[in-house]
């Protein structure tokens, strides 16, 4: 076991409490921002001189920032409270913090858990935590990206099913590494930048991933082939969660009409509600509609990006590399209604 795994580090927590950036702490302590990042994430153990400089800059003692971790094997805090006491969990290091994530359905597939709350034997989670990337996204094909990340970089990717704004909120709170956003389209190409600027502020960038067809999935038995016809007859709609790109599309379609009360939280839930007979129509992406055997009416072409921090984080650079890889781009281009985007990153300001 490396010595870094035996050190409890509160530098990120204390820096955040002072509302300092890594660059600000680096300036005050006479270090580089890269050194501060490496200390916070546990990639290096600072020398006595560096530890004293950091503590002096923060006006606290070295012991308040660093300690030998009898707690290194204790269960980390929850990213958010689980719904059940004996919850299975994953662990990940995010922004220098070791966190537990309650297991939930993931587009990455069925991922082995790292422990069970209240039942786990003491384990050191540091290695797997630093090899784990947490993404919030409603992309139904996110498992392809997870597989590419594992193949190219040996990283485990866990995709939490969240709408655009819900994912950005988790990213803003420092609980995940990246968030999928599709609030832009061909008519409003700056929608993703606006949302990130509004919710996140500076220090983030958008990674261009894909373009996908968003529209209306229909039960084939309806026999309707135009959007206008859906509002001339009694059609049971399944709605979408507020803050999602699909809800934005639904609100556009329902302008001046009462939105559906029943809500689906991802594209698959929409398709399953229609296939199960509890709804006739709902907004989702073409690939999900097609794979559930539904009829699809295309409404618009969404721009899907990943919002990531501008921090020097190896896992995020691995994410950029995977998105740009020829294998992943070819897979996207072969999916109905999908096309690979440029893979470029732009600062969200």
CATH of domain 73-208+305-348: 3.40.190.10
φ, ψ dihedrals at 214, nearest 5°: -115, 140
Low-confidence ranges of the chain (pLDDT < 70): 1-7, 68-74, 120-124, 349
Residue 166, helix vs strand vs coil: helix
Residue 203 has what pLDDT? 87
- Condensed to tens digits (0 to 9), the pLDDT of residues 231-283 reads 878 899 999 999 999 999 999 999 988 889 999 999 999 999 999 999 999 99
Residue 50 has what pLDDT? 92
Residue 314 has what pLDDT? 92
Mind giving me the DSSP string for 65-81? HEEE-GGGGSPPPBSS-
| Residue ranges of the chain that CATH labels 3.40.190.10 | 73-208+305-348, 213-302
Residue 6 has what pLDDT? 58
Number of residues in the chain: 349
- Rounded Cα distance between 170 and 132, Å, is 16
Residue 127 has what pLDDT? 82
CA atoms within 13 A of residue 42's CA, in its CB half-sphere: 27
Residue 303, helix vs strand vs coil: strand
Residue 86 has what pLDDT? 86
Superfamily of domain 3-69: lambda repressor-like DNA-binding domains (1.10.260.40)
CB contact at 8 A, 240 and 282: yes
Query: Can you point out the beta strands (E) in the chain?
Result: 7-9, 66-68, 88-94, 97-102, 115-116, 132-137, 156-161, 178-185, 204-218, 237-240, 263-264, 281-285, 295-309, 338-340, 345-348
Residue 303 has what pLDDT? 97
State the CB neighbour count (10 A cutoff) for residue 212. 27
- Rounded Cα distance between 274 and 268, Å, is 10
- Rounded Cα distance between 167 and 170, Å, is 5
- Rounded Cα distance between 340 and 279, Å, is 31
- Rounded Cα distance between 205 and 209, Å, is 13
**DSSP annotation of 193:** H
- Rounded Cα distance between 325 and 91, Å, is 27
State the CB neighbour count (10 A cutoff) for residue 333. 11
Mind giving me the DSSP string for 163-178? -HHHHHHHHHTTS-SE
Q: Give the H or E element holding residue 247.
A: helix 245-253
Residue 37 has what pLDDT? 82
| Residue ranges of the chain that CATH labels 1.10.260.40 | 3-69
Residue 122 has what pLDDT? 55
Question: How is residue 255 written in tokens?
Answer: 């302008």
Residue with tokens 């039942």: 119
Q: Name the fold adopted by 213-302.
A: D-Maltodextrin-Binding Protein; domain 2 (3.40.190)
Residue 10 has what pLDDT? 82
Residue 93 has what pLDDT? 93
> What is the b/e burial string over 269-294, where b = at least 16 CB atoms within 10 angstroms of the residue's CB?
bbbbbbeeeebbbbbbbbbbbbebeb
Q: Give the H or E element holding residue 147.
A: helix 142-153
CA 168 to chain centre: 8
């Amino acid at each position: 076991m490396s010595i870094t795994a035996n050190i409890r580090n509160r530098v990120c927590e204390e820096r955040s409490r002072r509302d300092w950036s890594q660059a600000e702490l680096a300036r005050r302590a006479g270090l580089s921002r890269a050194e501060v990042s490496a200390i916070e994430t546990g990639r290096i153990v600072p020398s006595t001189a560096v530890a004293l400089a950091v503590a002096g800059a923060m006006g606290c003692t070295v012991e308040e920032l660093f300690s030998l971790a009898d707690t290194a094997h204790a269960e980390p805090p929850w990213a958010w409270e689980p719904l059940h006491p004996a919850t299975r969990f994953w662990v990940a290091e995010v922004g220098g913090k070791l966190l537990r994530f309650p297991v939930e359905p993931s587009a990455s597939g069925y991922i082995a858990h790292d422990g069970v709350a209240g039942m786990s034997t003491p384990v050191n989670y540091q290695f797997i935590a630093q090899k784990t990337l947490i993404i919030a996204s409603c992309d139904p094909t996110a498992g392809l990206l997870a597989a590419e990340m594992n193949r190219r970089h040996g990283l485990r990717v866990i995709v939490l099913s969240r709408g655009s704004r819900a994912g950005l909120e988790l990213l803003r709170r420092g609980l995940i590494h990246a968030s999928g956003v599709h609030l832009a389209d061909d008519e409003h190409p700056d929608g993703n930048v606006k949302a990130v600027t509004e919710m996140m502020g500076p220090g983030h960038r958008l990674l261009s991933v894909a373009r996908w067809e968003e529209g209306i999935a229909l039960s084939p038995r309806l026999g309707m082939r135009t959007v206008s016809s859906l509002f001339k007859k009694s059609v049971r709609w399944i709605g979408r969660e507020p803050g999602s790109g699909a809800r934005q599309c639904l609100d556009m379609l329902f302008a001046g009409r009462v939105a559906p009360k029943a809500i689906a939280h991802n594209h698959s839930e929409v398709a399953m509600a229609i296939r199960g007979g509890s709804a006739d129509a709902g907004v989702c992406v073409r690939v999900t509609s097609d794979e559930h055997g539904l009829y699809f009416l295309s409404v618009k072409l969404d721009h899907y990006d990943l919002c990531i921090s501008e921090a020097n984080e190896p896992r995020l650079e691995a994410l950029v590399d995977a998105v740009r890889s020829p294998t992943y781009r070819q897979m996207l281009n072969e999916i109905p209604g999908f096309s690979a985007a440029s893979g470029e990153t732009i600062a969200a300001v």
